Amino acid sequence: MVRRRSALEVVAFLFGLVLLAWWVGWLEPFELALFDLRTLIRFVWQSPRPTDDQIVVVAIDDRSLAEVGRWPWPPDEYARLIQRLQAAGAATIALDFIPERTSPLLVNAVRQAGSVVLPTAATAEGAVVRAPDALLTTAAGYGHIHVEADRDGVIRRLYLGGRAGAAQAFSAAVVAVRAGRPLDTVANPAGTKPGGGWRRTPGAVLWLSYRPYQSHPEGPPAVLAMRSLQRTLSAADVLREPPAALGLRGAVVLVGVTALGLPQDRLVTSLRALGPVPGVYVQAAAVRSLLWNDQVRRGSRWSTVVLTLFLMAVVGWLGVKSSALATLGGGGLAIAAYLVLSQWAFHRSNLWLDAATPMLGAALAAMGLIVVGQHGSERQNRFLRQTFSRYVSDAVVAEMLRHPEQVGLTGERRQVTVLFADIRGFTTLSEQLPPEQVVRILNRYLECMADAVLAQGGTLDKYVGDGVMAIFGAPVVFGNPARRAVAAARQMRRRVEHLRWELQEPKAGSPRWPEQGRQQPGVSRMGLGDAAGQLRVGGGDARQQAVHEWPQIGIGIASGTAMVGHVGTSRRLEYTAIGDVVNVAARLQELAGPGEILVSEETVWQASGVNVEAQGGTGVEADGGANAGVEGRADVGDEVGQATGGVGGVKVGPGLVGLPRQVVVRGRKMPVKVYSL
């Protein structure tokens, strides 16, 4: 998911980049390749039109050469072929080759037919090649057969304007003769009515459109074949069969050379799967498109710009609303849908909508948004690491990075457990110690507290002098927050006991860490003692005794709903929790005696899953001081401990002693039930 502003900037930049590439023509080869693919798909799957068989190719093929003789034929053979076609009822006869010689018989046949169209051509040097003047003057019309291939060698269009000594293209001249129009007019490729829309367009371009003239017996042709391009008769059959049997009445006949090994134009068309085809089939396709107004119309430049912008906007919207995977999938679906729509428009209306530019724009937009989103995720991960690396353990940070949606940085309600811990008598003792020793002892103590919190997946909220505030259950829920808070409190108490052993003067033959039975760093290792390894405090034996009994810690734990998130100003932010549960935990810490852990009933319930019913108790004010007593001590936690199980190797239940206290906290109407751990 990408921010809206970032998505807008990315899409706008890539849109300009794509339009620049399209404007300079870098995308045109890809567009032409897609045009070939569309033409092939339509040719394979579209049914023929009833009028397509009215255009016939008479092929001078290998069989014709075997029966008539070597090519070129004598002029009289051309005359005989024209006479046979006239007798068969052909409406227009177009010769797609240039007769180099003439004869009175040929001139007379052309004159009598009255509908013969001849071609002209140009050599590489620019010289005009055409039939003898005697034939041109008697022909119904003539036009150039000049074709220009694109850079990839494919013939996709014909220029209908004048070239090679002719006023118009050969196909346009054939259509003009067939329609009985003046020779200086050609069909308007943008026309909408068959046989209408005629105007002079010397620079018009006709995009070639191919359709199968006959259907396959079982549906669309599975294999492309040249015979599918246009109805074809062999010149040998025309010269031999009875004219009435040829079925040419009213047809436009194009006579061309198709025999292998003869000089002829073999052109690669948009139907590349067919391979090179004789030029007469290209001319036949052009005649059919012009005669029946079946021209391909390419969309305007503005349509390309609008479609590109629309597709990129759709992908940009997906990038703002969805994940990277959804953006990629949605972008692919948008491109596929556009391809289907553009193919349908080409199939039904001969409308060619550019696809390369919109597709490239959508693809680049999807990839760009994914990159920006990934960069944003990495930036967010770095922010989370930098923000919480000092608050929580590495395991919690890893969990936050795996599920960043669980992290609420702007403030949200969470069910949390809050822990407060404080050293008893630290202020009095610190007045008797040098400042450097106070700082070293405090840092050692805070390190013990922080390790206990982080080991249980808690969040270190803040240090307040010698006090510590920790949150369990935010910014992410890591295990059971209440259980982990209780386990962390017990670890704190145990670590403080160990710290007290470190600060005391060792007795002969006794280890500093009784539980482990080995020597541990004492005050000398901590840099706090004198040369003998003893911590010296001025003020007499009483104060020295206070050192031996120090430090002692009091801990308060409460569970409930709090607002958690970043609080502060633009210059300094702090991740913390705000709410009644924080106040309760702080008050319980104040009430806790040295070495005591006070736990609210809600925390006991959440840690054990068993509701502990109150069994009497005495009301105690929250501000009654840390020395408030606990009445009727008894072990009431065995059942809770069995339900809870171990938390970090420590059980909650067996440590609960005494009846619950009724603690009144300022701001709360109902007292808080508290257990001592």
Distance CA 270, CA 157 (A): 10
Confidence of residue 105 (pLDDT cuts 50, 70, 90): very high
Distance CA 174, CA 335 (A): 41
Written as six digits, the tokens of 545 are 């005794």
More confidently predicted of 179 and 302: 302
- At residue 277, the 3 state secondary structure works out as strand
Helix H or strand E encompassing 451: helix 435-455
Within 10 A of 268 (CB to CB), how many other CB atoms are there? 18
Interval 391-413: pLDDT, tens:
555 555 665 556 555 555 567 78
- Residues 406, 565 contacting (CB under 8 angstroms): no
Q: Strands 672-676 and 657-664, how do they pair?
A: antiparallel
What is the DSSP code string of 92-105?
EEEESS--S---HH
For residue 663, give Cα distances in angstroms to 16, 63, 555, 626.
69, 114, 15, 12
Interval 476-530: pLDDT, tens:
787 889 999 999 999 999 998 888 777 765 544 444 444 443 344 444 444 444 4
pLDDT of 454 reads 86
Interval 126-160: pLDDT, tens:
788 889 988 989 999 899 988 888 888 899 988 88
Confidence of residue 462 (pLDDT cuts 50, 70, 90): confident
Q: Strands 55-60 and 92-95, how do they pair?
A: unpaired
- At residue 506, the 3 state secondary structure works out as coil
DSSP structure class, residue 527: T
pTM exceeds 0.75, yes or no: no
